[in-house]
Amino acid sequence: MAAKLALVTGASGGIGHEFAKQLAQAGYNLALVARSKHKLERIAAELRAQFGIDAQVVVCDLSTPNAAHDVQTQVPECDVLVNNAGFANNGKFAQLDENATLEEIQVDIVALTQLTRVYLPGMIARKDGKILNVASTAGFLPGPNMAVYYAGKAYVISFSEALAEEVRGTGVTVTVLCPGATETGFAERSGTTTTPLFKLPMAKADDVAKAGIEGMMRGKSVVVPGITNKLVAISPKITPRRLLVAISGKAVEASETRPPS
């Protein structure tokens, strides 16, 4: 039988790169999606050489409308879909650049939803497939100073759990991974390197990817790696709401003011 194909978005670095590496090690052929052609080509070549798999490069900016359909044109179907791409803007919502905010919504919510809609029907028809959506522990909380990102990750969690129930018994599974702060380029891009949250010890990207893949393979609907992150996930149930919002906002409040994105 031909090797199965895993499509990974945001595959040019961080957790996405680790997803690609670990899936290649497990024998999956890959379709690697990101904006950076040179990074993707280098990663694809390395994975082909190391694991003997096929790796297709799909250069696409998921912040553009209908990007998911551009991806499908190049990759008509896949056996595993890893919706990993995402980014955040840090700052007061009213002061952030409007276009940057809309691009964040496009990548974190719209593209993820469209890619899932594009590939899920084929999986159901074949009675085989796995979808792994990357959310965050941020999705369990309201997030002053990163309001859109936190709300977007709440959408991803709710959306994924609902789909997991919808596809139950079809041979397809949907899993949502909710990591906390992780050693990737996320903090630099979002302007959160000086925040209290990212001054604390962070998880390793390879450990986070491993937890997500293991949970996906077991068909778990929600994966929250690490004791600290599990405590964050249950904090809305045990913490007064006003206090929770205040703590959440302080955790990602930058110690220096940045200009709008």
Q: Which active-site residues does the annotation give?
A: 149
Q: Distance between CA atoms of 33 and 159, rounded to whole angstroms? A: 22
Q: Distance between CA atoms of 164 and 28, rounded to whole angstroms? A: 23
Pairing mode, strands 80-83 and 55-59: unpaired
Structural contact between residues 54 and 41, judged by C-beta atoms closer than 8 angstroms: no
* Beta-ladder partners of 175: 132
For the CA atoms of 92, 93, 96, 98, what is the dihedral angle to 10 degrees? 180
- List of residues 6+ apart from 60 with CB closer than 8 A: 33, 34, 35, 67, 70, 71
